[in-house]
Each structure stands twice: as C-alpha cells, then as structure tokens.
Amino acid sequence: MTTAGSTTVHSVNRRTVRPVAPPRNGFERAAWVFMRYSGLVLVFLALSHWGFQHIFNSVQNLTLESTAGRWGVTGQIATLQIWFWRVYYGLLLGLAMLHGLNGLRQVVYDYMHFKPLYWGFMTVSTLLIVAVSAAGIAALFLGVNIAAVGGAAVR
Amino acid sequence: MKVHLKIKRFNPEKDKKPYWGEYDIEADEGDRVLDALQTVKWTIDGTLNFRRSCAHGICGSDAVRINGRNVLACKLLIRDAVKNGQITVEPILGLPLIKDLIVDMEPFFAHYRAVMPYLINDTDPGERERLQSPEERARYDDTTKCILCACCTTSCPSFWARGEYVGPAAIVQAHRFIFDSRDEGAAQRLQVLAEPDGVWRCRTIFNCTEVCPRDIQVTKAIGEVKRALITGKLD
Amino acid sequence: MAQYHQFDALVIGAGGSGLMSALYASKSVNTAVISKLYPTRSHTGAAQGGISAALGNMEPDKWEWHAYDTIKGGDFLCDQDAVDILCKEAIHAVIDLEHMGLPFDRTPDGKISQRRFGGHTNNETKKPVMRACHAADRTGHMILQTLYQQCIKNNVRFFDEFQMVDMITVDGACRGIVAVELNTGELHVFHAKAVMLATGGFGKVWKITSNAHSLTGDGPAIILRKSLPLEDMEFYQFHPTGIYKMGILLSEAARGEGAVFINDKGERFMERYAPTMKDLASRDVCSRSIYKEVRAGNGIGGKDYVYLDFRPDRINKYLEADGSSRRVDAEYIETRLPDIIEFVRVYMGIDPITEPVPIQPTAHYAMGGIPTDLDARVLADEKGTVVEGLYAAGEAACVSVHGANRLGTNSLVDLIVYGRRGGIHMAEYAKQVDFKLIGDDAHKAAEDTLNAIRNNAGSEHPGQIRKELQMHMDEHVGVFRTQEKLEEALEEIHRLKERYRHIHIDDKGRRWNTDLMEAWELGCLLDLAEVTAVSALAREESRGGHYREDFPNRDDQNFLKHTMVWSDNRITYKPVRIGRYQPTERKY
Amino acid sequence: MSTLFTTVRDTLRYKGREGQWLWVLHRISGLGILFYLILHIYDMSLAYFNVPVHEQLMALFKTPVFSALEMVLAALLVFHAVNGVRVALLDLRPALWARQQLATRLALIITVVIAAPTIIIMLIYTINAHLSAAATTAIR
Ligand SMILES: Cc1cc2nc3c(=O)[nH]c(=O)nc-3n(C[C@H](O)[C@H](O)[C@H](O)COP(=O)(O)OP(=O)(O)OC[C@H]3O[C@@H](n4cnc5c(N)ncnc54)[C@H](O)[C@@H]3O)c2cc1C
Ligand code: HEM
Ligand code: SF4
Ligand code: F3S
Ligand code: FES
C-alpha cells in the first residue's frame, strides 16, 4: 500500500487491545456462556447415551432388568460400575435439564411479553422440571425397585 | 422490458387490511427498483407512498422487502429483481405499518439512542486533533459505514419476536464507539447491551449480515461485543 | 387548527449546516430542528471526497493559500472577507469535528489524513496540495452522523418528517414557520425568535443530477415567495464525473488519487485544457472540456460521454508521466475509494479496477442561494438590509464564498463554518429579544395553498410537468448557455408554470400524502428554475460555472457583481467585496 | 403470545437464508427434546417410585407410533447437537464468521450423515422386534 510520505512517530498506539469493566448484570452473560459450553459437553453425553440406547441396543430390548444392570437394585451396594453410570447419567440429566430449562426461558421470554404470564409460566415450568429432575436423580441413586414387582428376579 | 410490479398497499384512512396493488410498467434493465416505484407513482397511481431520497444507497430511506428479502429499493437493479417478469415489493417487518411501504421508524431510532451513539470523552483534547493510529482507526471502520436503514434489524427473527430487543443496527452503532480508541464510554454502553434485551438476544441467525446494504459484518460486530462482555477486553 | 410550538431558535433542515447550527445554538437557548427527512437521510451524507482545511498534516499548507484557491476557483466572484473567515475557521472547525468523534482517516503518526482535490494548490509551487481531510470516500456521511450524534447527546429537540411549507413574517421580520407533520398531515405553527433555513440545494431542477429526490429548494423558494431576493442563481455547478445517464456522483477524490479523463481516442485530454492542474482543474473547467471533447466527436463511440479511468496500472503510468514517485495498487484504490467503486459495480455493472468508467457532467451544486452576511443573517436587498430573526446556511445560502464556481470540499467547510457562526449568532440574538406576537391565523396561508393543490381538479399531471421541466433545464440551462436557449427555456418554464396551475393529484388523504408534498415541491422547482434562467440571461459574460457561448469571456468591467433576483423576475446587482486578491485571468 | 403468531408469520413471509431456517429448527428441536426428556426422566424415575406404571409406559414406548416419534426425535437431537456445535463454534471462534454460509451447509450435511443411518438402524430394530414378537405369538 502506498501512503504519502510522513515521518513515523512511535507515540501512537498500534495495538488495539484495551481492558473494559465488566457490567453488573452478569446473569444473561452466564446463561449465554453456559448454553454454549453445556451444549458442547452434551454432544458427547447425549449422543453417546442415544447411541447406547438406540444403536448398539434398542428401546425394544429395554427391560427393567437391563436398567437395573446399570443403576443397580434398591438396597444393593454400589459397585464401581454403578458409580460410573450414576455420574454419567447424573451429569447428563443435570446438564440437559439446566440447558433445556434455560432454552425454554429464552423462548418464552421471546413470546410472552406480559410479565405475569411470563413469570407464571416459568415458575410452573421450573418447578416441574426441578421436580422431575429430582425424582430422576433420586431413582438413579436409589436403584431399580425390583422388589415392587416380586423380588430378585434379575440376579 | 415489461415488468409486473406487485406492491403491498395500505391506506390507514381507508383500508382495514393491506392488499396487493398490481402494476405493469415499462422499465430499463439497468434501472433501480426505486425508479420503477417512481414510475408507478408518477404515471399510474399518485397515492402510492414510500420513502426515498438519495437514490444511490447512501441515505437509508428506502428499506423495503423485495421478493421477500430486505433491500434498499435504490440499490437493487430491475434485472436482478425480476422473477418471471414480476417484482414483489412489501414494507419491512417488525415495525408498525403506517401507509403503503412506510413504517414507523420511531422504535428503531429509540433503540439507536439507547446505546449512547456518540463519543464519550470528557478529557480536554487541546488545540489539535486527538491522535489515533491507522490501526486503531481501522479497528472500528466497518461499523462507521452504517446508514441506519434498518434493513438488518427488521430482518432479525429475534426482533420480530421481541421489539424490545435493541437489534443489530443499534449494536453496530454501539460497536462503532466501543472500539474507538478515543472513546471512554465503553463500559456504559456494554452495561446497556448486557441487559436481557441487549446482545444476548442475538441468536447468530445472520439475516442481518446478509442484507446489510453497506456490507457491514453485522453478526461479527455483535459477536465482538459479546466477546468484550465475556472477556472484559476490547480487542 | 394547527398545533402550536415555541422555541428560541428553530433550524429548518438537518443536513450538515442545520445540525451544526442547532448544535451551537442549543448550547445556550431552547432549540428545535425541523426536517422533512430523518436527519441522517440528509444529502450531506452523500458527500464523498473530503473537507478542506489547511492543517498542513501531510505537507506545508496555509489558510491563505486555501483562501486564494477558493477565490480563484470562484472566478473572483467570491466575497473575500467571507472566504478569509471560511478558510481560517476551517482549521478549527475540522479539529472540532474530530473532537466530536468524527472518524477521519489517519496518517501513520496518528494525525488527520489529507488528500489532493481539484483546484487546491500550494500557491508557491502551483502543484496540487493535500488539503482535503477525509474518511475514506464517506466524509459527508461521517460529518452527518457525527453531528447528529452530538445533537442527540445534547438533547436537541427534533421534529423529524415535518416539512416546512411557509414562513411567518410580520413587518419584514421572521417570527416562525409553518410545517406539515407528514405522518398526520396536520399543520404545526412553530413560533420562534430566530429561524435558520438550512434546507440544502435544488438539483432536482435538472434531470441528470447528483442530488437527492428531496433536494427541491424549499427554503430558497419560500424566500422568493416572501418577496425576498436570491443571490447568484445563474451559478450552478455541473460536476464533471457523474455516472453516465444516472448522474450518481463519482467524487473528485478519484482524480485526487490519480484517476484521469480519457476520450474515445484514448487521449488524456485535460492536458490540453489545463496544462498545469490537468485532471484536477476546477470543476467548471473539466465539465466544459468534456463537452468540448464530445462536440469534437471525441466522446466514447461518438456519444455524449467520456471515460474516467482509475485502473491502477493506468494511474501509475500517468503518475510516472507527471514525474510523481507515488504509485498505487488495486488494494490502495479500494481502501481509499470503497464507496464509489461500489457505485460503479452496482449501478454500471462494471469493475472500475479493470475497466474505465463512462461518465458525464451532472448537475451538482448551487453556488447561489439565500443571500446572507458573515453571521448567516439573511439579507433583504442588495444594500445589505438584514431580515430580522432570519438566518440561512449551507447550500441553501449564499454568503458568497463559492463565487462563480465552488471548489471541491469547500461546501462541507461552508456548512460547518457558517452553520456554526449562524448558530452562535442566533442564540445571542434570541437571548436579547422577546417573542413577538404572531397572528392566530399564521397557518392559514399554508393551509390554503395545500388545500388548493389537494382539491384542484385540473387535468395536468405533476409528474409530467416535472419531467418536462428537467428536460428543458438539461438542454437549455446546462453547461453551455446562449441567449436563445435561455429565452426558450424561460418561455417553457412560464408555460409549465401556467400548466402547474391546473394540476390534479390522486391522493386526497391526510396521512403521509407524498403526492401532495411532491406537487408542492414542484412549485418550488418551477420558481427556482425561473429565477435561474432569468439570472443567467441577464449575465452576459462567462464566469466560473456560468458559460455563455455568446459571451465566452469574463467581463469584470460590467459583471464583477452579484446578481440579486426576485420572484417577479426583477434583477439588481450588488458589488463583490474584493480583499487582498485582485481579479486575474484564471488558468489551471 | 401474539408475538408468537407474528414471529411465525413473519418467518414464513421473510425470505431468509439457511441461518433463519436452522434457527427455527434449532428452536423446535430444543423444545421437542426438552419435552421428550421430561417425559423420559419421569418414566425412568418410576423404576424406583412406581414400577408397574414404569412397565406400562415402557410397553407404550415400544408401540410403533412411539417408535416413529423416537426416530423423529433422533433426527432432531442429532440436528440440535450438530447445529448447536455450529452456533457455539461461530460464537466462540469469530474467525469462522466469514465462513458461515459454508457452516450452515456443513451442519445440514453432517446431520443427515449421522441421522440417516441412526434412523435406519432404529427402523431395523423396531421391525425385528415386532416381527419376532409376532413370531412368538404365532408359535404360542
Ligand atoms: C453526491 C454529492 C457529493 C458531494 N461531495 C462533496 C464533497 O466531497 N465535499 C464537499 O465539500 N461537498 C460535497 N458535496 C456538496 C455538499 O454535500 C452539499 O452541498 C451539502 O451537504 C449541503 O448541506 P446542507 O446542510 O446545506 O443541506 P442537506 O444536507 O442537503 O440537507 C437539507 C436538509 O433540509 C431538510 N429540508 C429540506 N427542505 C425542507 C423543508 N421544506 N422542510 C423541512 N426540512 C427540509 C432536509 O430534510 C435535510 O435535512 C456533495 C454533494 C453531492 C450531491
Ligand atoms: C446435544 C448437544 C446439544 C448442543 C450442542 C446444544 C446446543 C445448544 C445451543 C448452543 C443453544 C443456544 C442457541 C442459541 O442461543 O441460539 C441451544 C439452545 C437450546 N437447547 Fe440445546 N444443545 C444440546 C442439547 C440439548 C438438549 C438435550 C436439550 C433439551 C433438554 C436442548 C434444548 C435446548 C433449547 C430448548 C434451546 C433454546 C432454543 C432457542 O433459544 O431457540 N438442547 N442448544
Ligand atoms: S448495519 Fe447495515 S443494515 Fe443495519 S442499519 Fe446499518 S447499514 Fe442498515
Ligand atoms: S439476524 Fe438477528 S439474531 Fe443476530 S445475527 Fe443478526 S441480529
Ligand atoms: S434512496 Fe437513499 S438509500 Fe435508497
């Protein structure tokens, strides 16, 4: 590039990076970042889970027994393998539900402009999702309640 | 060549609902669609209304939707606009319709004003110009080109969903100052943009970038603002 | 009934001049801006090349050189005291703009970058000087945006999409204006102590023009209707480089960067017409040269256009021939002239980096307009009587710093220097006086005019009249003029004015009735076309932008004076204020 | 809620490019997956809290209608994942913005490449299961 001849003075700044104070309201920012990173983690968790359930195996073959094989049975002492599944499913469930809940919030925020309606809907949805998630986690840790259908058939 | 124009018409003093006005005109291939609209107005139907001024893509008056997509009517040539001998012209979306192709721009400019679109720097600059290196100047060059035509904001699905979203144009304007090395108001502007109706509403859809008549990398500018919010650094 | 508003200072027009004066007036008094367009749509945004000020950032320069160039460019018709103010204050004004945040391009050491422009020289070497401060080729855009931004910052009150249709005068003093709110069709009376007319040019009198559809000279036309005179209306600038047939401007900055004119034979013909400045001679000279080439049969393919060539290899060839060590490449041209390159690509479908561009002169700028004094106060006659409370600045006004021909970049300087002076003076004035009464029926005349147009049941179509007007003006009141042509034009204009009385419009509604407003604007165009032709007919000499083939020489003996023209076609003259520079022959 | 109507209407009226349609799909798929997941977790939790109902639901999920829905869901999940990665990468790596048109196409291609075989395998499993079930009943 041709520039008209002029002496160069080195006092001017050639780098353009500057710090800036972060804003007070960090919630939306945190939510935004969370959506991206949780999404990236979920790719591995969700797709592998889907793979186990639908490709290497099938819902058609899914039985109480096969579930118990991973969760263990109520009252059983958890083996290392069971702990693995607990962590795996716990993480999957937690991340997916949080990710989904925030996703739902974004969508609802777009469409429900009447504040009470928005808050009402989100309260109910959050309660529902939290309750279901809690139940899911509880079940995961408590194991399959084989006793309820007549004893230790699996083992 | 012969062109069949289909124009969305609406007169608030008469019509309950918008309807299609259809016009056949003779136009040159190299004419602008704006010229075709003028031809209709000046020779067929004087009641047709649209905004226009410069006629060469510099003033931002005539953002409309041609064949379904936002453009400046003066920046699209007939030969590129005709599809099967026909051109469809409609008002832009997401802003209240006033008359024919004219929409209420006030909400758009309100968002513009909300981001403090002016240099903030209270130190005394002295007698001569503030110095700025060509590199620093280049940093925000892209976003200085904006002509506030609203093509971007009114093509954004997030904006259609929620008019409170400041929209890409306002973010572009904010970007122009945030990344100007002479400006000291970056933190204040980022505060506005960090609100729920600020940059986080942007879902990286790219409609804005695709329609910007000034070829501004709108999504990139928005992304850079997001990054500044996340990293606390302007780079 | 009309709505009523009251402001100390009222600015009509939100282009560079309007915003600058509003900005300065609003610092001390209650100020409002009325504009028929959203401020950022004003045509100042179309200005491309630059704004001159003798900053001397790139090479030695002095404001006195700038002043001399301006006066010489104006063919010695400029009022030299006004030019001195212009060029001296330009330096501060440009730096003021930088402080407001205007993103000028920069030199490697961080200062405002400058480039060459037509007619701007180093008075000692006579070579082109780098004086035009620029932000790529969007300088006007940046000025407009920056000033609007500052007005927002200072909470200036805006009435956007309000069109002035009448001025309120009582006892020869201005006390406000009447405007239509386009969105409702309602009339508003704006009562003010001081009113600034900054409504821009009236290029739409011609067909091939660089001007916007909205440039219909509303301000000057209203002045005529108030029995006030306009100054130097025969001096209208035809810019040499408009895109062929469309008139879209390709800035002189292109030639400042090295582009040249080429005729059908591939000759760089400006060497013949202006041996020193060549392609950077002043605009009137270039425009005439182009048409002379066309007449000599050297137009491209024998047609009425020539090429502007800014292919980098050609530029380098010519730079070498001129003995310059500067060289350019495609990337440099693209970063220096991004917008005009895009115009060519979009509107002509050719790439100026690889092909020469067909251009033809285009109606561009009104040197004349509303006569004002050095503080932008409007003058009522050739004796210098001030119209109380009335100001004008920008292209609508005539101070006269441009004389018979404006130098490139000097309009933007004019806007900010005299816009600012006007703004400051308005505020001072408004602080000293009280509101004077206006009648309850101040809006009546405007209402009647508009209703007359709306309800007229004639058979004439305004669109047709406009088309014919523009055609006649292009043909007869263009770059070359003769008594015969001008008389013919005048006759046509009178005929069109008669037909205008029998127009009808289609839209009878109130809201956004642009049919009505365009018909009203057509009335302004007709009035301005008429006084332009009248003034041109009376000036029997050639000077700057006004070229009479029947009087091809400048005649300082009889015509070193400003024309003042009234709506009844009466003409008077007022002397040119000469300062340090005596008129000499103009050579480039 | 009227804005839901306007967004849907405007989205249909506006001739956006890939980015717009991918966004629509992303939104629908996200909500779809969420809805499915709530059901699924509820169901699985019953493996502890109420096994008989759990068993009933499992049977329901094995019916052809639900199998078909599951296949749709598979496609949606794969799409949501791939497109989510596209969006996240574009957002976190600005250098890629210049290639966004390519990115949208790649996302669609990758989705199809992963989803199509998945669905075929699911289809095979389902058909097999129903055939063998039929066979079992026939033998009985
Ligand atoms: C294409 C082009 C390129 C140019 N390049 C250069 C350059 O490089 N350098 C240079 O110095 N000059 C240049 N000029 C000239 C210069 O840009 C103009 O002369 C200048 O911008 C005029 O400014 P203004 O403030 O007088 O009016 P404008 O910017 O034209 O604004 C007029 C204002 O008045 C308002 N208005 C008009 N009528 C009414 C009414 N009835 N009621 C209410 N409001 C009204 C309009 O809405 C608008 O806001 C160029 C001009 C053109 C056309
Ligand atoms: C498999 C990996 C996944 C990835 C990579 C992923 C990625 C993303 C990303 C990046 C977003 C943000 C989009 C935006 O802001 O524009 C998002 C939104 C969303 N996700 Fe996911 N996600 C995944 C799984 C899930 C799951 C399992 C659910 C359901 C529980 C889900 C539900 C949603 C919802 C409802 C949204 C909001 C959509 C919107 O705002 O339009 N996602 N996803
Ligand atoms: S960013 Fe582009 S599309 Fe948006 S308002 Fe500015 S110029 Fe128009
Ligand atoms: S279209 Fe809208 S969602 Fe973001 S990338 Fe553009 S602003
Ligand atoms: S009329 Fe000015 S941008 Fe189209």
* C67-115 residue pLDDT tens: 999 999 999 999 999 999 999 999 999 999 999 999 999 999 999 999 9
Please check the confidence at residue B85 and state whether its pLDDT lies above 90: yes
Q: Which residue has the higher pLDDT, A51 or B126?
A: B126
Q: Are strands C397-398 and C370-371 parallel, antiparallel or unpaired?
A: parallel
* A55 and D121 Cβ atoms separated by less than 8 Å: yes
The dihedrals phi and psi of A54, each to the nearest 5 degrees, come to -120, -20
pLDDT of residue C459: 92
- More confident call, A78 vs C407: C407
Residues B210 and B112 in one domain: yes
pLDDT in tens, B32-43: 999 999 999 999
Residue finishing a domain among B103, B127, B154: B103
pLDDT of residue D29: 96
pLDDT value of residue A11: 53
In this complex, the residue of D6, D17, D87 whose CB is nearest that of residue B160 is D6
Same domain, B114 and B151: yes
| Average pLDDT score over residue span A63-81 | 81
Q: Which residue from B215, B218, B129, B173 is spatially nearest to C104, judged by alpha carbons?
A: B129
Q: Is the CB of C43 under 6 A from ligand 1?
A: yes
Domain count, chain D: 1
C402 lines ligand 1 (CB under 6 A): no
Residues B175 and B220 in one domain: yes
Residues in chain B: 235
Spatial contact of C271 and C386, defined as CB atoms under 8 Å apart: no
> What single-letter amino acid sits at D18?
E
Q: DSSP class of residue C249?
A: B
- Closest ligand 5 atom to residue B51 Cα is 1
- Angle CA B185–B191–B196, to nearest 5: 150
Q: Round to the nearest angstrom and report the end-to-end CA distance of chain B.
A: 51
Is residue A13 predicted with pLDDT exceeding 80? no
Q: What CATH number should be reported for the domain holding residue D132?
A: 1.20.1300.10
| pLDDT score of A154 more than 50 | no
CB-based contact C327 A4, cutoff 8 Å: no
| Separation of CA B156 and ligand 4 centre (Å) | 5
Atom of ligand 4 nearest to the CA of B201: 3
Residue closest via CA to ligand 1's atom 14 equals C47
Instruction: For chain C, say whether A16 makes contact (Cβ under 8 Å).
Output: no
How far is the C-alpha of C152 from the C-alpha of C253, rounded, in Å? 31
Q: Name all chains with 3 or more CB-CB pairs below 8 Å to chain A.
A: B, C, D
Q: How confident is the model at residue C495 (pLDDT cuts 50, 70, 90)?
A: very high
pLDDT of the residue at A9: 40
Q: Domain boundary residue among B46, B79, B103? A: B103
pLDDT of D4 reads 81
Domains of chain C plus CATH, in order, are 3-44+144-236+364-432 (3.50.50.60), 48-134 (no CATH), 242-363 (3.90.700.10), 444-554 (1.20.58.100)
- Which residue type is seen at B206? F
Enumerate domains of chain A plus CATH numbers. Answer: 24-154 (1.20.1300)
User: How would residue C219 be classed by pLDDT, with cut points 50, 70 and 90?
Assistant: very high
Average pLDDT over residues A56-70: 77
CATH number at residue B16: 3.10.20.30
Assess contact for B151 and B204: CB atoms under 8 A: no
pLDDT band at A149 (very low <50, low <70, confident <90, very high): low
Question: Do residue B129 and residue B14 come from a single domain?
Answer: no
Minimal CA–CA distance to B114: which of B183, B191, B59, B184? B191
Give me the residues of chain D with pLDDT under 70, please: 1-2, 138-140
Determine what percent of chain C is predicted with pLDDT higher than 90: 92
Q: How many independent structural domains does chain B possess?
A: 2
Q: How far is the CA of A103 from the centre of ligand 2 (A)?
A: 6
Q: Kindly state whether residue D2 falls inside one of the protein's structural domains.
A: no
Answer yes or no: is the C-beta of B153 below 6 A from any ligand 4 atom: no
Assign residue B214 the CATH number of its domain.
Answer: 1.10.1060.10
C-beta atoms of B61 and C41 within 8 A: yes
Q: Find the ligand nearest to C214 CA.
A: 1
Question: Does residue C21 come out as left (phi exceeding 0), alpha (psi in the -120 to 50 range) or beta?
Answer: alpha
Answer yes or no: is pLDDT of A6 > 60: no
Q: Give pLDDT tens digits for B39-73.
A: 999 999 999 999 999 999 999 999 999 999 999 99
Q: Do chains C and D touch (3 or more CB pairs under 8 A)?
A: no
Largest CA-CA distance found in chain C, in angstroms, rounded = 70
The first and second tokens of residue A23, run together, are 């804003």
pLDDT recorded at residue C117: 87
Q: Is C77 exposed, middle or buried (0-12, 13-18, 19+ CB in 10 A)?
A: buried
| Tokens 């990468």, located at residue | D89
Among protein residues, the one whose CA lies closest to atom 5 of ligand 3: B148
Q: What does the alpha-carbon distance between residue A69 and residue A78 come to, in Å, rounded to a whole number?
A: 11
Whose C-alpha lies nearest to ligand 3, atom 7? B146
Average pLDDT (C321-328) is: 88
Domain that holds residue D125: 17-139
Q: For chain B, give the mean pLDDT.
A: 95
Does residue C446 register a pLDDT over 90? yes
pLDDT of residue A7: 38
Evaluate whether residue D69 is within a structural domain.
Answer: yes
Q: Are residues B132 and B38 in the same domain?
A: no
Closest approach of chain B CAs to the CA of A109, in angstroms?
8
What does the pLDDT read at residue C195? 98
What ligand 3 atom has the least distance to the C-alpha of B147?
7
pLDDT surpasses 60 at A8 = no
- CB contact (8 A) between residue B139 and residue A16: yes
Contact predicate B86/C500, CB 8 Å: no
Rounded Cα gap, residues B4 and B88, in angstroms: 9
Q: Are B234 and A26 in contact (CB under 8 A)?
A: no
**What is the percentage of chain C residues whose pLDDT exceeds 70?**
100
Same domain, B114 and B212: yes
Q: Do residue B64 and residue B143 come from a single domain?
A: no
ipTM, two decimals, is 0.92
Whether the per-residue pLDDT at B97 is higher than 60: the answer is: yes
CB C416, CB C91: distance < 8 Å = no
Look at residue A150 in the predicted model and tell me its pLDDT: 60
pLDDT of residue A1: 35
- Is C283 labeled as catalytic in the residue annotation? yes
What local confidence, expressed as pLDDT, does residue D8 receive? 83
Q: Is the pLDDT reported for residue A10 higher than 60?
A: no
Whether A12 and B228 lie within 8 Å, measured CB to CB: no
Res C1: pLDDT = 64
Average pLDDT score over residue span B190-215: 94
> What is the mean predicted confidence (pLDDT) over A108-121?
93
- Choosing from B80, B103, B126, the residue where a domain stops is B103
Mean pLDDT for the stretch of residues C327-334: 92
Domain assignment present for residue D44? The answer is yes
pLDDT score of D138: 67
B94 DSSP assignment: S
- When scoring C57, C61, C109 by the number of chain A Cβ atoms within 10 A, the one with the most, hence best to mutate, is C109
Same domain, yes or no, for B130 and B26? no
| Res A5 pLDDT > 60 | no
Regarding whether B99 and B110 lie in a shared domain, the answer is no
Minimal C-alpha gap between C56 and chain B (Å): 12
CB contact under 8 A, D51 and A47: no
Best of B71, B95, B119 to disrupt the C interface (most C CBs within 10 Å) is: B119
- The residue annotated as part of the active site, out of C283, C377, C539, C554, is C283
| Dist CA C386 CA C445 (whole Å) | 24
Residue-range definition of the domain harbouring residue B134: 106-231
The residue that leads in pLDDT, C477 or A67, is C477
Task: Let me know if residue D123 belongs to a domain.
Answer: yes
Nearest CA in chain B to A107: B161
Please check whether residue A120 touches B, CB under 8 A: no
CA distances from C313 to C309, C327, C329, C333 (A): 10, 9, 8, 11
Which has more confidence, A11 or B117? B117
- B23 Rama class: left (phi>0) / alpha (psi -120 to 50) / beta: beta
B72 and B127 within one domain: no
